[in-house]
Amino acid sequence: MTLTITNIRRPNSETLESITLENGLIKGWNLPAEGEIIDGKGGTLAPALIELHAHLREPGQTEKEDLASGLAAAAAGGYGTVVSMPNTSPVVDDPAIVRSLIEKANRLGFARLRPAAALTRGQTGETLAELTFLQDAGAAMFTDDGRTNEDARVLRLGLEYAGSLGMVVSVHAEDASLRADGVMNEGAVSEALGLPGNPAAAEAARVARDLEIVAGLQAQDRPVRLHVQHLSTARALDLVREAKRRGLPVTCEVCPHHLTLTDEALRSFDSIYKVAPPLRTQADADSLLAGLLDGSVDCIATDHAPHTRAEKERDLLTAPSGIAYIELAFPLMWTRFGATLGLERLLDLMTQAPARVMGWPEPSLEAGAPADLTVFDLHTERTVNPAEFKSKAKFTPWAGESLRGWPMLTVVGGAVAYRREA
Ligand code: DOR
């Protein structure tokens, strides 16, 4: 299959060019147009975004999201690859589930799926899952995300075992006993609202513990790879920064919601803002942005976590945690931080950097590279209208906002996975 996209620019170039894709790969630039021809309308072409952290809810929670809606939403957001989280029902701790998810996703033709598998059976944190068989089935990484790894010895074993397989272990770093029943950041706002708080120390303490485990394993020359998910506090990021200085094999991600929202949003008592780890203070958000600039944060992930409207309409004490917005993550980041980060750094944080975290080949625009590509319209403002979302979660904190940077076309394996209608 051959596809030519005309009238596109490479990032930070004014020159209009064309690119031809054949058999899933980039054939070359500015060749005579052949096959299907799509007008890129002056948009900017980049490698498709890579999402290391999304909840697609299959199997078992398809009232919230499913592979079709989640992967279509991802493609509409400019993503070519999605790592799905295993906190489903049942948990993705069985090679047969990993295989069936991949087969089903391949048939859909939206974004590619690289499922994460649970590190422990049933994500209970007690017994390691069958990591080798899960890897053989196609698991991309191991994580008990959604849950925390309370038993440090089991996590250590998991890091050691996964590391010997060359696999990343990714952790939701919150100390459950410190977090307790906190539903929002602990601080002036939680006190004013009379809501149970989740202290910054819950994240920092857990990150410190996990880094010590990694340091110990590294000292024994074990090939460990720890990835810390959705860092939300300045203090925890400082710990990761310091660990990197010491040469520890650790990477971390931050999420656009922790960069753009703070605990002040909870004054609305709207559970749409309830997320784990919680929205923190402006000082924390500023530190996370500084981390993106100084390189101590490796990549951006969304933690797209859809729930039903009825669930998110419950009160803050009982509603589930999670914000869903994979369709607008890039426009949100580009509109809010494009001037600060610059296009190349932002694209790197959402394409090459996630690939580096995973040890995957770095996406590129050169001939011979996989044809996973996105064309962005960096200039036209559009109002966020959740009714148009492909995700089942048709509500978002950014509804009604005017954003730039919308994907116009997403190509996965040389085939169109998303094309904006107008
Ligand atoms: O806010 C969150 N929602 N954080 C998590 O760790 C899990 C996720 C979910 O599964 O809804």
DSSP assignment string, 215-243: HHHHHTT----EEE-S---HHHHHHHHHH
Q: Which atom of ligand 1 is nearest to the CA of 306?
A: 11
Q: Answer yes or no: CATH 3.20.20.140 is held by domain 48-362+392-398.
A: yes
Cα separation, 126 vs 124, in Å, equals: 5
Pocket residue to mutate for ligand 1, from 57, 88, 145, 175, most atoms within 8 A of Cβ? 145
How far, in Å, is the centroid of ligand 1 from the Cα of 271?
Answer: 13
Is the bond leading into 277 cis (omega within 30 degrees of zero)?
yes
Q: Are 123 and 190 in contact (CB under 8 A)?
A: no
Mean pLDDT in each 10-residue stretch from start to end of the chain (422 residues)?
97 97 98 96 98 98 98 98 98 98 98 98 98 98 97 98 98 98 98 98 98 98 98 98 98 98 98 98 98 98 98 98 98 98 98 98 98 98 98 98 98 98 80
Question: From the candidates 303, 348, 372, 377, which is the catalytic residue?
Answer: 303
What is the bridge-based pairing of β-strands 169-171 and 142-143?
Answer: parallel
How far, in Å, is the centroid of ligand 1 from the Cα of 322?
Answer: 5
Report whether 303 belongs to an annotated binding site.
Answer: yes
The two tokens of residue 167 are 């696999």
CA end-to-end span of the chain, whole Å? 25
Q: Which atom of ligand 1 is nearest to the CA of 307?
A: 11
- What is the signed CA dihedral for 339, 342, 345, 348, rounded to 10 degrees? 100
Query: Residue 373: how many CB atoms within 10 A of its CB?
Result: 26
Q: Are 112 and 82 in contact (CB under 8 A)?
A: yes
Cα separation, 397 vs 83, in Å, equals: 23
Residues counted in the chain:
422
DSSP per position, 253-296: EE-HHHHH--GGGGGG--GGG--SSPP--HHHHHHHHHHHHHT-
Q: Are 160 and 224 in contact (CB under 8 A)?
A: yes
Task: Write down the domain spans for the chain.
Answer: 1-47+363-391+399-422, 48-362+392-398
What 3-state DSSP class applies to 62? coil
pLDDT at 415: 98
Roughly what angle, to the nearest 10 degrees, separates helices 343-350 and 329-341? 140
pLDDT at 421: 86
Query: Residue 126: how many CB atoms within 10 A of its CB?
Result: 11
The two tokens of residue 84 are 């799905």
How far, in Å, is the centroid of ligand 1 from the Cα of 237?
Answer: 20
pLDDT at 422: 74
Pocket residue to mutate for ligand 1, from 89, 170, 275, most atoms within 8 A of Cβ? 275
CATH class for the region spanning 1-47+363-391+399-422: mainly beta
Residue nearest to atom 4 of ligand 1 (CA): 276
How far, in Å, is the centroid of ligand 1 from the Cα of 329?
Answer: 17
Residues lining ligand 1, judged by CB closer than 6 Å?
55, 87, 145-146, 172, 275-276, 305, 320-322
What 3-state DSSP class applies to 212? helix
Residue with tokens 């990343």: 168
1-47+363-391+399-422 and 48-362+392-398 in the same fold: no
Q: What single-letter amino acid sits at 150?
A: E
Residue 303 is a catalytic residue: yes
| Bridge partners, residue 327, by sequence | none
The two tokens of residue 314 are 């419950």
pTM confidence score: 0.98
